[in-house]
């Protein structure tokens, strides 16, 4: 008898049930914080997967975009929310990762001293579920930090509650990401990391398995829809998650991430040829260009239709093309953004029209009334 049934062997209903059980538990245990709509100003990133700055480290290529984003949001008074899988602790020991990204952590600490920093754990940094490890390793760099599993943000407009934003990484309920995280970590640390370091393979992009990602997105949306439509008004929530590495934004499927930069590389390759660059430089540019072109030829991933708008996904901060995606909450609206912009400049690119939170919660209330009728 097998201890776990592989996700690929589950039908959608079985998979939904596992995810729902994990999310039900996390939602019930989550703390709550009140925020006035007019004062809500935060940016959410997830899935950095910071490693040991070796060939297996998927984050270092995106570090410039991430650092630029943090500087931008710090100066504009945004609270920073890191929604899990910040460190890659399946492949690396804590003591390998933290010193190598001390500069990033110092930027994050500046948010603690200013507009605020909230951290969550995911499956790849589930070590932070243990407060003793947080106290020993993170507290010296981020004094007083608490690492959460989930949080309910109660959005208020004066004395009136509009609704909840449920923040959670999104791995809950899946066998190897939740219940067997310790086993998975050992396998990755001692086997996969060696292979990846030698060959440069990426380990943290669920884009490699569109079927599983679609199944997980569907499961999270179905859970969030059921929760929103079946709950009383004071518990009605829209879920904000990460984990799948692909942004999901209701009403407007975002462009496929991970393939940007091909035009710029092609121009750099032409310039290098024109000045008589050597074979090593030309080979490196051509290899990266063909890699990005190949990414663009993959079958496009289409997220499920999110209606009503109960499920948002941040994407990740370790895309192969060095970009990162996240969610901004400001001016009463939520926006899906990418760093860097189309020109490669250190500015956010809006990937979908913003959604006003008052309208979002009104749509949830209307859908709940319809479902009850």
Chain-centroid distance, C-alpha 221: 16
The tokens for 278 are 């050597």
Which of 261, 254, 262 lies closest to 337, judged by CA? 254
Q: Which tens digit of pLDDT belongs to each residue from 137-157?
A: 999 999 999 999 999 999 999
Least confident range from 80-89, 173-182, 195-204, 257-266: namely: 195-204
SS3 67: helix
Which of 206, 312, 320 lies closest to 261, judged by CA? 320
Q: Which tens digit of pLDDT belongs to each residue from 335-355?
A: 999 999 888 899 999 999 999
- Beta carbons within 8 Å of 337's beta carbon, 6+ residues apart: 325, 326, 327, 328, 348, 349, 350, 351
Least confident range from 94-98, 238-242, 287-291: namely: 287-291
- Name the percent of the chain lying above pLDDT 70: 82
- pLDDT (0 to 100) of residue 197: 44
CA–CA separation, 245 vs 257, rounded Å?
A: 10
- Beta carbons within 8 Å of 237's beta carbon, 6+ residues apart: 27, 152, 163, 164, 165, 166, 224, 227, 228, 231, 310
- pLDDT (0 to 100) of residue 349: 95
| DSSP bridge pairs for 339 | 324
- Beta carbons within 8 Å of 129's beta carbon, 6+ residues apart: 121, 147, 149
CA–CA separation, 66 vs 243, rounded Å?
A: 17
pTM for this model (two decimals): 0.82
Given pLDDT bands bounded at 50, 70 and 90, which one contains residue 177? very low
Chain-centroid distance, C-alpha 69: 15
- pLDDT (0 to 100) of residue 192: 45
- Per DSSP, helices labelled H in 231-350 are 262-274, 279-296
- Please count the other Cβ atoms lying within 10 Å of the Cβ belonging to residue 293: 13
- Beta carbons within 8 Å of 54's beta carbon, 6+ residues apart: 197
- pLDDT (0 to 100) of residue 251: 86
Chain-centroid distance, C-alpha 23: 17
164 phi, psi to nearest 5 deg = -115, 145
CA–CA separation, 37 vs 34, rounded Å?
A: 10
- pLDDT (0 to 100) of residue 316: 95
- Please count the other Cβ atoms lying within 10 Å of the Cβ belonging to residue 25: 15
Q: Which tens digit of pLDDT belongs to each residue from 114-134?
A: 999 999 999 999 999 999 999
Q: Say what angle helices 262-274 and 279-296 make with each other, to 10 degrees.
A: 160
Buried-state track 265-276, b at ≥16 Cβ within 10 A, e below 16? beebbeebeeee
CA–CA separation, 103 vs 68, rounded Å?
A: 12
Which of 116, 139, 96 lies closest to 39, judged by CA? 116
248 phi, psi to nearest 5 deg = -130, 125
Given pLDDT bands bounded at 50, 70 and 90, which one contains residue 47? very high
């Amino acid at each position: 008898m097998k201890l776990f049934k592989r996700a690929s062997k589950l039908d959608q209903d079985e998979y939904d049930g596992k995810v729902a059980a994990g999310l039900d538990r996390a939602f019930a245990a989550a703390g709550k914080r009140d925020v006035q709509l007019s004062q809500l100003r935060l940016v959410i990133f997830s899935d950095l997967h910071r490693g040991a700055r070796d060939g297996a480290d998927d984050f270092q290529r995106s570090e410039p975009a991430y650092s630029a984003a943090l500087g931008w949001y710090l100066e504009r008074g945004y609270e920073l929310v890191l929604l899990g899988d910040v460190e890659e602790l399946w492949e690396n020991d804590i003591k390998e990762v933290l010193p190598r990204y001390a500069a990033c952590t110092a930027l994050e600490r500046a948010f603690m001293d200013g507009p605020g920093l909230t951290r969550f754990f995911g499956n790849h940094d589930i070590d932070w579920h243990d407060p003793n490890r947080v106290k020993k390793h993170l507290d010296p760099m981020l004094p007083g930090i608490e690492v959460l599993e989930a949080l309910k943000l109660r959005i208020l407009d004066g004395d009136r509650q509009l609704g909840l934003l449920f923040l959670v990484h999104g791995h809950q309920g899946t066998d190897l990401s939740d219940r067997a995280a310790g086993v998975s970590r050992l396998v990755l640390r001692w086997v996969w990391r060696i292979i990846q370091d030698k060959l440069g393979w990426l380990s943290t992009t669920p884009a490699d398995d569109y079927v599983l990602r679609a199944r997980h997105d569907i499961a999270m949306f179905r859970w969030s829809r059921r929760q929103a439509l079946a709950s009383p008004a004071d518990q009605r929530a829209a879920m904000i998650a990460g984990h799948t590495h692909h942004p999901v934004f209701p009403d407007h499927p975002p462009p496929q991430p991970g393939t940007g930069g091909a035009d710029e590389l092609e121009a750099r390759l032409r310039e290098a040829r024109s000045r008589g660059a050597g074979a090593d430089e030309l080979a490196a540019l051509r290899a990266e260009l063909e890699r990005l072109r190949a990414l663009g030829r993959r079958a496009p991933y289409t997220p499920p239709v999110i209606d009503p708008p109960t499920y948002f996904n941040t994407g990740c901060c370790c895309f192969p093309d060095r970009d990162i995606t996240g969610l901004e909450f400001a001016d009463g609206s939520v926006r899906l953004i990418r760093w860097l912009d189309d020109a490669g400049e250190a500015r956010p690119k809006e990937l979908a029209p913003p959604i006003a939170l008052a309208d979002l919660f009104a749509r949830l209330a209307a859908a709940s009334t319809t479902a009850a009728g």
